[in-house]
Structure 1
């Protein structure tokens, strides 16, 4: 996978963190129905790799499936074996970037400062994740792209329908969006139609 092309094309990566396993696939299907095809399953839950496997078996190539919140090679290996085609971390770890390159799986490391951006590029990252986006705002990304003119950044953390377009206008190639796509009330009510409509609205906003 060319992760930069994927991010530029899709614009939205849905970040699914610790969702109930019995409704997980229904949420993913609702997001796909709404036009969101890039899915990041976080590995900070014991069943993270299993959820990746189940999603890949159920939806095949209809989704671009990644593993997020990876901290160890073991998590990355389990995710890769389960069917993940890209990795995302909340931080910059050269050892993990090296492992990803060895396995031929692209990795998007989390960064915040100019020093971290430069280090990520030096260690082979094609794209980075600005995290947490809510802390710095679109203006920070715009300023960061002054010296880093070729920066390919996904912004994650506090991104919603209210600010997603502003981050893209500031130069982000994509945004990572979590619970604002599937709020607790919808999950508890199993209102997948509402989740699909919310996803569709966000897709129109960022791609229009």
Structure 2
């Protein structure tokens, strides 16, 4: 399967942003035990590439592993060498799109407006990220898919257990979910069992 098919099958991407490195793998394991098999590690932390490497070493091919919040070719190169198999950015950047195509690694750029969607598709994007999803809601995606009827979109930003299903019903292939899966209280208490339960509830909600 290509990355779009994988995202469509998994439906949930856990977005891990600047988590404490000492508990990072515990969180990843807890999410995987709860059925979340697509992980996006953001590159806005100094050790982003190292965390991708450690995740790949521990979970191998059990997870679809991507690098998020990429802004430079250098970040993308480091993430690719660490084991990332797709890139996600919060914006649309033609240089990054060209680099991803050169390396044969799928890139999911962040877009919001119809103009940005059209530009991303012209640059060869197989899927786009609607960001921030909380700003526009599921109805916006449904309307956007009127003229862009074949649009493959992942929605990120403000997505949680309560609204994830609505975005999928509106046509999203997947949703990116962050801190609502691993709230600070769980991290501070090292309550990884609670994170697993949250993951299980979300997976049940989105997969039916």
Residue number in structure 2 paired with 1:6: 6
Residue number in structure 2 paired with 1:189: 189
CA deviation after TM superposition for structure 1 residue 110, in Å: 0.2
Residue number in structure 2 paired with 1:198: 198
Q: Distance in 1 between matches of 2:62 and 2:143?
A: 36
Structure 1 segments of 4+ aligned residues over 4 angstroms from their partners: none
The alignment's C-alpha RMSD in Å is 0.6
Runs of at least 5 residues in structure 1 that lack an aligned partner in the other structure = none
State yes or no: 1:161 paired with 2:161.
yes
How do 1:129-144 residues align onto structure 2 when only pairs under 5 Å count?
A: 129-144=129-144
State yes or no: 1:114 paired with 2:149.
no
Q: Distance in 2 between matches of 1:22 and 1:161?
A: 26
- Report the TM-score, using the length of structure 2 for normalisation: 0.99
CA deviation after TM superposition for structure 1 residue 94, in Å: 0.9
Report the secondary structure of 2:13's partner residue: strand
Report the secondary structure of 1:126's partner residue: coil
CA deviation after TM superposition for structure 1 residue 158, in Å: 0.2
Runs of at least 5 residues in structure 2 that lack an aligned partner in the other structure = none
State yes or no: 1:16 paired with 2:16.
yes
CA deviation after TM superposition for structure 1 residue 3, in Å: 1.3
State yes or no: 1:88 paired with 2:77.
no
Residue number in structure 1 paired with 2:66: 66
> C-alpha offsets along residues 129-167 of structure 1, whole Å, 9 cap, x if unaligned?
000000000000000000000000000000001100110
Q: How many residues end up aligned between the 2 structures?
A: 208
Residue number in structure 2 paired with 1:46: 46
CA deviation after TM superposition for structure 1 residue 2, in Å: 1.1
